[in-house]
Amino acid sequence: MKVLVADKVSPKGVEYLRQQPGLTVVEAYGSSPEQILSLVDDVHAIVVRSETKITAEVMAAAPLLKAVGRAGVGVDNVDVEAATERGIIVMNTPSGNTIATAELTFTHILCGARPVPQAAGSMRDGKWDRKSFSGIELFRKTLGIVGLGRIGSEVAKRAQAFGMRVVAYDPYLAPSRAKAMQVEGVTLDQLLADSDYITVHMPLTEATQHMIDEAALAKCKKGVRLFNCARGGIIKETALLEALKSGHVAAAGLDVFEDEPLSKESEFRKLPNVNLTPHLGASTAEAQESVGIEIAEQIADVLKGGVIRNAVNMPSLDAATLKVLGPYLDLGQKLGTLVQQMGPQQIASLNITYWGRIIDLDANSVTRAIQRGFLRRISGDSVNYVNAPVSLQRLGIKSHVLKSTDEVDYTELVSVEAVAADGSIYGAKGTLIGKTGKPRIVEINNREVEVEAMGKLLVIENHDQPGMIGYVGTLLGKDGVNIANMSLSRNEPGQTALMVINLDSEPSPAARAELKSHQAIKLAKFVQL
């Protein structure tokens, strides 16, 4: 079997693959997209970093392809959805660069406090200028961490060692978890107002894109210092540029950018109060060796029919078991992401119940699929079937699983409930239908529905009164949104009714706002499965 190493990874990782009986390794560093297409027709696995893009077109040209391995965390350069449809396993190495990125972040923080790079440049120019490079101390200053996951937590430890007060904003983090880490959990507005230094460690999602924009920067102290070693786009670059020029932001350190590589003409390159690095978060000898060897081991295991590890779209199972469980995993993941989008940002526990035939299968893998689905929009690429339970624990979310032998109306049934701190519950149930086992949602918030678990959904709870279906249909029609299917439900006439609508496209922000403003509508949620 052939393994294509498309991007340069640790030589030890490549050597490990070469030593495996039955594997042939082809190194094709720096190949163009056209060259990659010409190389994959007989390839069984591809190893990449961040340079080579593995698109649906590449997969279509690789009929033997079983696995794509990313030596790193983000899988932005891999079409995961297309891979899943083709049964191709996509794996990453989520923990290999944690320390490297945390240390780089703190290096940027130190250089933002003390202008060491600028002073070093001055010395190389033959100068001895002590007055121009005065700095400030970290001791007793406040560091605001936006996103307290693996890397954010490591940054917090280092800041505490420097005697800093650490505050953190993470909408999904339970207060008890923050307290255990000796970190003050605060709102984003509080963090912006209180912090002398701010560092972001969130995945790039619809919710986090440009979360630090003009309005957010206006809430910061004059002289704040800002750092991003996470993902380009979390900080709005045009807003940061203006704040750096005006002095409202005293200094910044950036390792990631909205468009990479950073343009030679970028204004950031001309500013004396910003330190730039070319996406070096994982660029340490230890991290690169670790992820290179780790992804090589994972690829070899998959090709030999062994256990799948750190897959972002498959659980850790052998191939035969995976074939049986595949439809259940798909159902579980979609129920998890549905409930997460329906409920509040912060929940106390995730309750999972199984009925029917699924009890006799490996329900633990389905549980992890549910957990990963729940975390998908929270933790981004760093969450997989292996680390999903730990990721929930980090957020302070308890997970409860029950296998019930009670009689139900379906051969198999899965229930997922998100319980908020105030005891309110947001839940959904699903099953499989047909010979192919298509996932179907059969209940939302204790109301029976009949909804295909795919694509775009609009979930509406409203007072049960005449004209509501026509109102919603007309509004969506005016917005240019086509309705593919609709399911209606109510428990009692004149009380609360439920509409679940499959849509062909996403409603505009204006249409959503109009829906929510209607006096009879209690809840209107757009859900992307």
Q: What share of the chain is helix, strand, coil (3-state, %, to 5)?
A: 35, 25, 40
The CATH number of the domain where 43 resides is what?
3.40.50.720
Domain limit, last residue, from 432, 454, 476: 454
How is residue 516 written in tokens?
A: 């929510």
Examine the pLDDT at 319 and tell me if it is beyond 70: no
pLDDT for position 407: 86
Domain limit, last residue, from 224, 251, 276: 276
Per-residue model confidence as pLDDT tens digits over 443-453: 999 899 999 99
Q: What is the DSSP string of 146-214?
A: E--SHHHHHHHHHHHHTT-EEEEE-TT--HHHHHHTT-EE--HHHHHHH-SEEEE-----TTTTT-BSH
Q: Of 214, 260, 357, 400, which residue is the catalytic one?
A: 260
- When pLDDT is averaged across residues 376-380 and rounded to a whole number, the result is 84
pLDDT for position 360: 79
Contact 71, 13 (CB under 8 A): yes
Confidence of residue 316 (pLDDT cuts 50, 70, 90): low
Confidence of residue 381 (pLDDT cuts 50, 70, 90): low
Mean pLDDT is lowest, of 284-298, 356-370, 457-471, for 356-370
- When pLDDT is averaged across residues 474-486 and rounded to a whole number, the result is 94
Examine the pLDDT at 325 and tell me if it is beyond 90: no
Amino acid identity at 199: T
As a whole number of Å, the end-to-end CA separation of the chain is: 35
Does 231 qualify as catalytic in the annotation?
yes
Q: Identify whether residues 28 and 134 lie together within a single domain.
A: no
Question: What average pLDDT does the chain have?
Answer: 92
The CATH number of the domain where 520 resides is what?
3.30.70.260
Q: What is the DSSP string of 418-441?
A: EE-TTS-EEEEEEEEETTTTEEEE
Q: Of 177, 201, 231, 440, which residue is the catalytic one?
A: 231
Phi, psi of 444 (to 5 degrees): -135, 125
Per-residue model confidence as pLDDT tens digits over 99-156: 999 999 999 999 999 999 999 999 999 999 999 999 999 999 999 999 998 899 999 9
Q: Identify whether residues 205 and 256 lie together within a single domain.
A: yes
Give the separation between CA 165 and CA 507, rounded to whole angstroms.
43
Q: What is the DSSP string of 227-261?
A: EE-S-TTSB-HHHHHHHHHHTSEEEEEES--SSSS
Place of tokens 């709102």: 187
Structural domain count, the chain: 4
Give the separation between CA 150 and CA 170, rounded to whole angstroms.
12
Q: Identify whether residues 118 and 232 lie together within a single domain.
A: yes
The CATH number of the domain where 388 resides is what?
3.30.1330.90
How is residue 130 written in tokens?
A: 């002590």
Q: Identify whether residues 392 and 467 lie together within a single domain.
A: no
In a 13 Å sphere around the CA of 180, the CA atoms on its Cβ side amount to 11
Give the separation between CA 138 and CA 264, rounded to whole angstroms.
32
Does 165 qualify as catalytic in the annotation?
no
Examine the pLDDT at 172 and tell me if it is beyond 70: yes
Q: Of 86, 114, 165, 279, which residue is the catalytic one?
A: 279
Q: Identify whether residues 2 and 31 lie together within a single domain.
A: yes
In sequence order, the β-bridge partners of residue 89 are 67
Phi, psi of 494 (to 5 degrees): 80, 0
**Three-class secondary structure of residue 26 per DSSP:** strand
Give the separation between CA 115 and CA 463, rounded to whole angstroms.
61
- When pLDDT is averaged across residues 227-245 and rounded to a whole number, the result is 97
CB atoms within 10 A of CB 383: 24
Q: Identify whether residues 289 and 354 lie together within a single domain.
A: no
Contact 197, 227 (CB under 8 A): yes
Q: Identify whether residues 331 and 390 lie together within a single domain.
A: yes
Q: Identify whether residues 153 and 249 lie together within a single domain.
A: yes
Q: Identify whether residues 271 and 244 lie together within a single domain.
A: yes
In sequence order, the β-bridge partners of residue 166 are 143
Confidence of residue 190 (pLDDT cuts 50, 70, 90): very high
pLDDT for position 18: 96
Domain limit, last residue, from 422, 454, 486: 454
What share of the chain has pLDDT > 90, as a percent?
Answer: 74
Q: Which domain holds residue 518?
A: 455-529
Give the separation between CA 424 and CA 199, rounded to whole angstroms.
33
Q: Identify whether residues 3 and 143 lie together within a single domain.
A: no
Give the separation between CA 164 and CA 139, rounded to whole angstroms.
5
Per-residue model confidence as pLDDT tens digits over 259-272: 999 999 999 999 99
Q: Identify whether residues 118 and 263 lie together within a single domain.
A: yes
Per-residue model confidence as pLDDT tens digits over 414-429: 999 999 988 999 999 9
Does 279 qualify as catalytic in the annotation?
yes
- b/e map 473-497, b = 16+ CB within 10 Å: eebbeebebeeeebbbbeeeeeebb
Q: Identify whether residues 140 and 252 lie together within a single domain.
A: yes
- Which one, of 127, 122, 78, 72, lies nearest residue 100 by Cα? 72
How is residue 448 written in tokens?
A: 């029976």
Peptide bond before 261: cis, by omega within 30 degrees of 0? yes
Confidence of residue 277 (pLDDT cuts 50, 70, 90): very high
Examine the pLDDT at 507 and tell me if it is beyond 90: yes
Give the separation between CA 318 and CA 455, rounded to whole angstroms.
29
- When pLDDT is averaged across residues 487-500 and rounded to a whole number, the result is 89
